[in-house]
Amino acid sequence: EAQVTQNPRYLITVTGKKLTVTCSQNMNHEYMSWYRQDPGLGLRQIYYSMNVEVTDKGDVPEGYKVSRKEKRNFPLILESPSPNQTSLYFCASSLSGRTDEQYFGPGTRLTVT
């Protein structure tokens, strides 16, 4: 089944404790991205990747890191989480870019206390 998976689905952590949210897709998609969803703000793009070893900042990259060492995986790293990073995070992939239909993962709800 074609899908985007994210783990964990739910995470409660404390300020400053490094964490990684994994994202994996099995559709051989070139483009992957991370979004955060906050009430009233819709989805805002954090980082995206056009291909392996090619990543770039989206609208709200501060406090986040990503890597794309393999085509299928695109982890989101929070080196020192803060409470303002409490949000719902979505990973997405598409065949060749942002002009294609995006396939979204199920979301990761992160709470930073």
Partner 1 sequence: AQKVTQAQTEISVVEKEDVTLDCVYETRDTTYYLFWYKQPPSGELVFLIRRNSFDEQNEISGRYSWNFQKSTSSFNFTITASQVVDSAVYFCALSSEYNAGNMLTFGGGTRLMVKP
Using CB under 8 A, list all residues that contact partner 1: 31, 33, 35, 40-45, 48, 50, 56-59, 88, 90, 92, 97-104, 106-107
Comparing CB distances to partner 1, the nearer of 18 and 38 is 38
Q: Tell me how far apart the alpha carbons of residues 60 and 41 are, in angstroms, rounded to a whole number.
A: 12
Comparing CB distances to partner 1, the nearer of 39 and 69 is 39
Shortest distance (Å) from residue 5 CB to partner 1? 12
The H or E element containing residue 57 is strand 54-57
Comparing CB distances to partner 1, the nearer of 58 and 63 is 58
Shortest distance (Å) from residue 51 CB to partner 1? 11
Shortest distance (Å) from residue 22 CB to partner 1? 18
Q: Tell me how far apart the alpha carbons of residues 10 and 107 are, in angstroms, rounded to a whole number.
A: 9
Sheet holding 4-7, edge to edge: 4-7, 19-25, 76-78, 65-66
DSSP state of 65: E
